[in-house]
Amino acid sequence: MLTRKQLELLDFIQKRMDHDGVPPSFDEMKEALDLRSKSGIHRLVTALEERGFIRRLAHRARAIEIVKLPESMERSRAPAPAFTPRVIEGDRTALPAGAMPVASFQAGDVQAVELPVIGRIAAGAPIEAISDVSQHIAVPGSMLSGRGQHYALEVKGDSMIEAGINDGDIVVIREQSTAENGDIVVALIDGQDATLKRFRRKGNMIALEAANPAYETRVLPDHAVKVQGRLVGLIRSY
């Protein structure tokens, strides 16, 4: 028998995984359940794990797997559309210009598209903006979100680790100049420094939020921040 809060959390995790393919962060769980601290979320997650409803995978950020659902949730749950994971684990294959894309992906749809890797993006303190193509990488076509140009960046730093983005990962970015609150974006600060952060607009100010409590949120005038793209995929090598 689950408590009301445990059911709320399990339902929130399930809906996020159906929609996005990845579980929410502890901060997102805390906000959704209107709790004051993440310690309450830790207790709820532990309780769900002990009762066999979820499984936590060691040494991986945001690694929660739903094992089963209560009968009440199973009955009310609408059939979820087929989901192709946007986090691809496999070989990261750099390609010379003009070469055919070849890569090993653990996903159902492996129709590959070659994207330029235009350098490193800071998930930490901002670094000087980079626009030179350093290599090319093959990614599944299913990872690309909608129309428009896409490119890839190598992540440097750990400020987005609770969003499942680790140092050395490759992020796939759709080029765009606007963002919704909560989007993870490539932001250019004062025309010089580029960073990967979660976007929040607060009046005429922009908050660039880290997903690591060791880093502070940066709040800047909106004229100082230029959105250059939105995160649509992630490739991780081991």
Closest of 83, 63, 60, 74 to residue 11, by C-alpha: 74
pLDDT at 89: 44
Q: DSSP class of residue 158? A: S
pLDDT at 125: 62
Alpha helices in the chain (DSSP H): 4-20, 26-32, 38-50, 71-76
Tell me the C-alpha to C-alpha distance, in Å, between residue 175 and each of 10, 30, 131, 187, 232.
34, 31, 13, 11, 10
pLDDT at 71: 75
pLDDT at 227: 93
Q: Which amino acid is at 47?
A: A
**87-236: what CATH class?**
mainly beta
Question: Are the CB atoms for 231 and 185 separated by under 8 Å?
Answer: yes
Question: Are the CB atoms for 158 and 123 separated by under 8 Å?
Answer: yes
In this predicted model, what pLDDT tens digit does every residue of 32-59 receive, in sequence order? 888 888 888 889 989 998 888 888 766 5
Residues of the chain with pLDDT under 50: 79-110
Q: In CATH, what is the architecture of 4-76? A: Orthogonal Bundle (1.10)
- Domain extent listing, the chain: 4-76, 87-236
- Please state, as a whole number, how many other Cβ atoms lie within 10 Å of the Cβ of residue 216: 10
pLDDT at 138: 73
Q: Which of the residues are catalytic?
A: 159, 197
Count of helix runs (H) and strand runs (E) in the chain:
4, 14
Question: Are the CB atoms for 233 and 171 separated by under 8 Å?
Answer: yes
pLDDT at 112: 67
pLDDT at 234: 84
Contacts of 38 (CB under 8 A, 6+ apart): 26, 27, 30
Please give the structure tokens belonging to residue 197: 């952060």
191: helix, coil or strand? Answer: coil
In this predicted model, what pLDDT tens digit does every residue of 106-146 receive, in sequence order? 334 446 677 778 777 887 666 555 556 667 777 767 666 55
pLDDT at 175: 87
179: helix, coil or strand? Answer: coil
